[in-house]
Amino acid sequence: AAGVIQSPRHLIKEKRETATLKCYPIPRHDTVYWYQQGPGQDPQFLISFYEKMQSDKGSIPDRFSAQQFSDYHSELNMSSLELGDSALYFCASSVAGVKNEQYFGPGTRLTVT
């Protein structure tokens, strides 16, 4: 079965640089979620989209922005990167209103040096 695809899987950036993370949801899933998991921590919700509209917002820094495109894929844009942004970034997808199950991608490991 098709799963959530995230690219790149690993990314190394320097402070103050910009990064773009991409997420391709499971086919026919219309909702995308972004989570950030710091070292030794639980995942923290950043933002979600349903049918290309932002549906919920969590602890996402102002330096980050995201959007969902017409093909339902989503991109998380991160600017002015800081050392503390080093983390595993998960994308998850679901079908709105059905079972409420979120299926996670393999994550993108971002390292800021």
Binding site for other proteins (CB under 8 A): 31, 33, 35, 37, 41-45, 48, 50, 55-56, 58, 88, 90, 92, 99-104, 106-107, 109
Nearer Cβ to other proteins (50/52) = 50
Nearer Cβ to other proteins (18/58) = 58
Please tell me whether the peptide bond between 25 and the residue prior to it is cis, using omega within 30 degrees of 0: no
Q: And the tokens for 64?
A: 């980050």
SS3 71: coil
Task: Give the integer Cα–Cα distance in Å for 68 and 18.
Answer: 19
Nearest distance, CB of residue 92 and other proteins, angstroms: 8
User: Taking a C-beta distance cutoff of 8 angstroms, is the pair 102, 15 a contact?
Assistant: no
Nearest distance, CB of residue 25 and other proteins, angstroms: 14
Nearer Cβ to other proteins (33/85) = 33
Nearer Cβ to other proteins (14/53) = 53
Looking at residue 66, its amino acid is: A
**Kind and range of the H or E element at 50?**
strand 44-50
Nearest distance, CB of residue 16 and other proteins, angstroms: 27
